[in-house]
Structure 1
Amino acid sequence: MKLKAVLFDMDGVIVDTEPLHRKAYFHMFDEVNIEVSEPLFESFTGQSTINVCRRVVDQFGLNETPEYLVSLKRKHYKYLFDHGELDLIEGVFDRIQDFYNNGLTLVVASSASMPGINLIFERFNLNPYFSAKFSGADLKESKPHPEIFLKAAAHTGFDKSECMVIEDSTNGIKAANAANIFCVGYKSVNSKNQDYDNADYVISDFSEIAYAKHKDFFKS
């Protein structure tokens, strides 16, 4: 595997925004008077907000449009983002710097909206390390469809066999598999009921994929 590019998911991989997103979604569900079960909510993980809202509108027969639900959810998320505590996932910034300093091309490929991605990147000064940012909200298909990873890999200019995806969700891992790109599954203490069986390599700490540890493998 001649590793030349790393495609990072964002939520749950770079930053732990999942609790904020969860709270924002459930505030939105309350506003439109629906009760979403835990299994249904867990099935949303890794999907873009607009696709989640389309599913909710269809499943609950709502009169509101998906776009209106998106606006409600984003309103709550923005408030929580501005008023809550938020940190990068432990060890991920060291790995970003490590990969960058070893000449790898870094791209973020997230289901989050581009404004949401930019909020995180500006807050933690990540822009200097990444060559591009892709938002699933701007694409036709959502994870587990491979579109976002295919576009992100194509942007790097390298072959898919020279790219690696880092994902934390079932849908993200399925998307990487469908794109035929090597996938590292990040299984954190915050991961809930996600399936890592189809990841090519599973980690629970970012030190496990330090460039120096896998230098020979990455360059073979």
Structure 2
Amino acid sequence: MLKPKAFLFDLNGTMIDDMEYHARAWYSILNEDLNAGLSYADVKKEMYGKNRELLHRIFGSEHFTSEREDELSLEKERRYQKEYAASLALINGLPDFLKKAKANHIKMAIGSAAIPFNINFVLDGLQIRDYFETIVSADDVKISKPDPETFVKAAGILGIAPSECIVFEDAPKGVEAAENANMPCVVLTTMHEKEEFINYKNIIAFVKDYNDTILETLF
């Protein structure tokens, strides 16, 4: 395992195990509010990239005004936060992993397709903002994952070469974004099975949580 100079973390499903809460919130918005008629499995398949991009994939890019898309995005996050707030917690082992990374002078950033409203909910709710030198959100990129812009921008701000970063992800499209950025990736199996990642060559490890001993080789 290579010795990295930076860790780039996706947020939802990677630092907190919350993707089922996102799926339920989207299912409610898409079917109860917008009558999309999607199965729960269909909703989960569409859960990548920006909220606006998800709406475009399902309804087309001209179906809603930009203002309505923003309203729907914020309402989805409100429903997610209301249901998940009582369970908000870092994935097992991550508190100590963050402390160890900081002690070893490894730079850290967040590269997420979430909007700042959602990122702030997590970072401030868990009081972990000080670990991260930069945050790249949905609002900071033109095109979200699997486009590499999120991770490339984060690495650039940190001043670290892509090959010296390790991305932590939980979703195939996120791993694809890391691969497109020429970055190795550790996959958290919180939402997806290993078999869903067979097409990606940049994966250096699959872990259930941050207590996995293979992560010790990163330091």
Question: Scaled by the length of structure 1, what TM-score is found?
Answer: 0.85
Q: 2:207 maps to which residue?
A: 203
Deviating above 6 A after TM superposition, structure 1's stretches of 4 or more consecutive aligned residues are none
Counterpart of 1:48 (choices 41, 47, 50) is: 50
Counterpart of 1:74 (choices 69, 73, 77) is: 77
Q: How does 1:2-17 map to 2 (within 5 A)?
A: 2-17=3-18
Shift in Å, 1:212: 4.2
Secondary structure of the structure 1 residue equivalent to 2:105: coil
Secondary structure of the structure 2 residue equivalent to 1:195: helix
Shift in Å, 1:193: 8.1
Deviations 1:3-52 (A, max 9, x none): 11000010011112212211211121211122223443232233221211
Equivalenced residue count is 212
Q: 1-side partners of 2:189 and 2:113: how far apart?
A: 18
Deviations 1:68-120 (A, max 9, x none): 432332332243244x4222111122211111111100101111111211110
Shift in Å, 1:183: 0.9
What amino acid maps onto 1:24 in structure 2? Answer: A
Q: 2-side partners of 1:43 and 1:22: how far apart?
A: 10
Q: 1:22 maps to which residue?
A: 23
Deviates more, 1:166-175 or 1:49-58: 49-58
Q: 1-side partners of 2:109 and 2:189: how far apart?
A: 20
Q: 2-side partners of 1:63 and 1:154: how far apart?
A: 34
- Identify unmatched segments of 5+ residues in structure 2: none
Question: Scaled by the length of structure 2, what TM-score is found?
Answer: 0.86
- Identify unmatched segments of 5+ residues in structure 1: 216-220
What amino acid maps onto 2:154 in structure 1? Answer: A
Counterpart of 2:95 (choices 93, 96, 108) is: 93
Shift in Å, 1:129: 1.0
Deviates more, 1:62-71 or 1:46-55: 62-71
Q: 2-side partners of 1:212 and 1:63: how far apart?
A: 47
